[in-house]
Amino acid sequence: MDKHTGMTPIVKMITEVLCGLMLVFGAFIVLYGHITPGGGFPGGVMIALVYILITLAYGRVIVERKVSGIIASVVDDIGALIFWSVGMIGLFVGGSYLFNFLGKGSPFHILSAGTIIINNIAITLKVGMCLYAIFLALAILQRVVIDEPKEEEE
């Protein structure tokens, strides 16, 4: 346990302050993706970066109590399901897959452009949790390589 408690208190304090701001900025990038530059892809990577920052600062064991790998893969699948079901609803309502079936709204408002905002959120969940899960897997592997390099020989 003492090996994985992370970095110095300075880094932990700065992480504590920064994490909320980064999450808010990621959510802003996603939700305003159809009005200002941004969208699901950069917002998802930024939300993954928040969890990776916590992992680097506090160690793997602490962060896996909050969001474990299995939760990450479930959220990832939920994102894919949202995207797929938006497409299927469009198929039944409008006659073509991924049809934009919601109202267009007035421009420059957050509730405009129909299904784009839902799809942005779905892509955010998918990209963010995918990258976080792959980082967890890489971190675990690194620990095993350093601690017991001889175990792989058979």
Q: Considering only residues 7, 13, 110, 134, which one is a binding residue for other proteins as defined by CB under 8 A? A: 134
Should residue 85 be labelled a site residue for other proteins when binding is judged by CB under 8 A?
no
The one-character DSSP state at 107 is: T
- 2's CB contacts (< 8 A; 6+ apart) are none
The contact mask relative to other proteins for 93-112 (x = CB under 8 A, - = no) is ----xx-x---xxxxx---x
114-144 in b/e burial notation, b at 16+ Cβ within 10 A? Answer: bbbbebbbbbbbbbbbbbbbebbeebeeeee
- 68's CB contacts (< 8 A; 6+ apart) are none
Residue among 9 and 37 whose Cβ is closer to other proteins: 37
Should residue 64 be labelled a site residue for other proteins when binding is judged by CB under 8 A?
yes
Residue ranges that bind other proteins, judged by CB under 8 A: 29, 33-42, 44-46, 48-49, 52, 56, 61, 64-65, 68-70, 76, 80, 83-84, 87, 97-98, 100, 104-108, 112-116, 119-120, 123, 126-127, 130-131, 133-142, 144-146, 149, 151-152
